[in-house]
Amino acid sequence: MSASLIAANTLRTTEIVQVKTESPTVKTFIMPDRLCSKVKPGQFLMLWIPGVDEIPLSIMDASNGLVAVSVKQVGDATRHLHGLKAGETVGIRGPFGNSFTESRGRVLLLGGGTGTAPLLFLAKQLSAKTERLSFVEGAKTKDELLFIRELNGICNEKSLITTTEDGTYGLQCLVTEPLSSLLDREKFDMIYTCGPEVMVKKIFELTEQRKLPLEASLERLMRCGIGLCGSCVIGKYRVCRDGPVFTAAQLREVKDELGISKMGFDGSRIPI
């Protein structure tokens, strides 16, 4: 980021134009924002909830001057955000971070929880360009499966696999379970994933055993979003600046931390 970009990229306020309920705990917020409407899948923004806090969110969709984020209610800031309605004001900084590379050929996308959001954005962009696009999505229960309708529109029936831990929809298992056989059965030119880090770690292990290319988007505690404060480090990388998308080669360098530990609010290492 050059000095001029950082200056041009100061916080600006914008009005929420639409709020969609995606699941009992996830809502999508759509806002006009020129800079963030031109991003690539994988990039994120910092969303300011006036008087509350600023939080990092992956961009779920971007086009025609609008940007969308899908947010799970987990704590103070996200609870306040969930209380906002169309017409209310939020602030945006960004876009930040790198993006997924655009692979051709056969691609596989694996999403868990709100990690499905940036992958839906990626799937939309890749669907016309790839030979074949497969998507595996997992959640605890049917209610929490996100974007099933959208994904059905992108993938054909055979190439969308859904899993729930309680068996209320799709296969009853963890999202990583159908993966072994899928990887043994089919050949993929690129695998993308975003979701809970324990899931990412498991997927990384499976692709490593088979020497397959992987790009994973990681989450860490973020405060500045511009590579300065160090809250988001994993190994020698800052997730906000060097990521959030990391390649298999980079994940190898941080495997002592991946899915194992991260930095907490006070800077101490906490287990994941």
Partner 1 sequence: MVQAKSGLINAMGLPNPGIDVYAEEIKFSKTVLRIPLIVSVFGYSADEYATVAKKAVDAGADAVELNVSCPHVKQTGAEIGQSPKLLSEVVQKVKAAVNKPLIVKLSPNVADITVIAQAAVEAGADALTAVNTLKAMAIDVETGRPILSNIKGGLSGPAIKPIALRCVYDIHEEFDVPIIGCGGITDWRDAVEFFLAGASAVQVGTAIALEDTEVFQAITKGVEVYMRKKHYRSVKEIVGLAHRS
Ligand X SMILES: Cc1cc2nc3c(=O)[nH]c(=O)nc-3n(C[C@H](O)[C@H](O)[C@H](O)COP(=O)(O)OP(=O)(O)OC[C@H]3O[C@@H](n4cnc5c(N)ncnc54)[C@H](O)[C@@H]3O)c2cc1C
Residue 38 has φ and ψ, to the nearest 5°, of -115, 20
222 binds ligand FES (CB under 6 A): yes
Other CB atoms within a 10 A radius of the CB of residue 71 amount to 22
CA atoms of 219 and 222, how far apart (whole Å): 8
Residues 206-225 that bind ligand FMN (CB under 6 A): 224
148 versus 182: smaller Cβ distance to ligand X: 148
114 versus 130: smaller Cβ distance to ligand X: 114
263 binds ligand FES (CB under 6 A): no
What minimum distance in Å lies between the beta carbon of 23 and partner 1? Answer: 28
229 binds ligand FMN (CB under 6 A): yes
Number of residues that bind ligand FMN (CB under 6 A): 3
Binding region for ligand X (CB under 6 A)? 44, 53, 55-58, 69-72, 74-78, 114, 117, 219-222, 244
198 binds ligand FMN (CB under 6 A): no
What minimum distance in Å lies between the beta carbon of 47 and ligand FMN? Answer: 19
Residue 90 DSSP SS3: strand
Contact assessment for residue 180 and residue 174, using Cβ atoms and an 8 Å cutoff = no
226 binds ligand FMN (CB under 6 A): no
Q: Pick from 240, 245, 251, 258 the residue near ligand FES by CB under 6 A.
A: 240
Element (H, E) at 200: helix 197-209
List, in order, residues 6 or more apart from 157 with CB less than 8 Å away.
none
44 versus 204: smaller Cβ distance to ligand FES: 44
- Pick what 244 binds: ligand FES, ligand X, ligand FMN, none; C-beta below 5 to 8 Å, kind-dependent: ligand X
Beta strands in the chain (DSSP E): 12-15, 18-21, 26-32, 44-49, 53-58, 61-63, 66-72, 89-96, 106-112, 132-139, 160-164, 171-172, 190-194, 214-217, 233-234, 237-238, 245-247, 261-263, 269-271
The footprint of ligand FES (CB under 6 A) covers: 222-225, 227-232, 238, 240
